[in-house]
Amino acid sequence: MNFYELILSRRSIRQFKSKPVSRDILVKLVNAARLAPSGANLQPLEFVVIDDEGVKKRLFPCLRWAAYIAPAGNPKPGQEPTAYIVVLVNLQVREKGYERDVGAAVENMILTAWEEGVGSCWIASADLDKIQELLNVPKDYRVDSVLALGYPNEEPVTEEMRESVKYWKDAEERLHVPKRALDDVVHYNEF
């Protein structure tokens, strides 16, 4: 599969196999993140890799999953992520305007994970204060988001968006994700 096909095939995963993601792969993801573009090359991001069973169990309740279909979109028991990467912003380096850095870094991790066969779900809807406390993150850092990781135990599909952006599950529990058509989002030379 070439890189463009990799991008086209990637979907957020919320049901995972119990197979652990190796520490080598997790480090590879952080390396891909640290090399992402950064505004003014300030590089305010740092990362907490979580693969310890106890920490994973304490982190999981802090996360909110698939709001449109909650609780059906939550990982089922035994299908929780097998690792996480928590994205931190060093506020001494940059207090605002870091969101593009986060987006670039997380997308690098998501695509690198997918290339390794590892599914992911980028989560910003979480109890970030509780995560900060749980992970002993200093006060001059902000917990931005969490990347949940594991080998996929589902195969979501995209659908042409008709009336709503809301994703849904069919009778077989397969997740369908509406996406805007290319012709609806591209403009040439002017709007």
Model confidence at 182: pLDDT above 90: yes
DSSP for 15-34? -B-SPPPPHHHHHHHHHHHH
Beta strands in 99-174 (DSSP E): 119-123, 141-150, 157-160, 168-169
Domains, the chain, ordered by start = 3-155 (3.40.109.10), 156-191 (2.20.180)
Question: How far is the C-alpha of 189 from the C-alpha of 191, rounded, in Å?
Answer: 7
Which amino acid is present at 171? A
Question: How far is the C-alpha of 51 from the C-alpha of 1, rounded, in Å?
Answer: 29
Each residue's pLDDT tens digit, 6-19: 999 999 999 999 99
Kindly state the tokens that stand for 120. Answer: 């992911």
> What pLDDT sits at residue 123?
97
Confidence band for 112, pLDDT divided at 50, 70 and 90: very high
Confidence band for 163, pLDDT divided at 50, 70 and 90: confident
Kindly state the tokens that stand for 60. Answer: 């999981």
Angle at 75 between CA 72 and CA 76, to 5 degrees: 80
Question: How far is the C-alpha of 101 from the C-alpha of 176, rounded, in Å?
Answer: 29
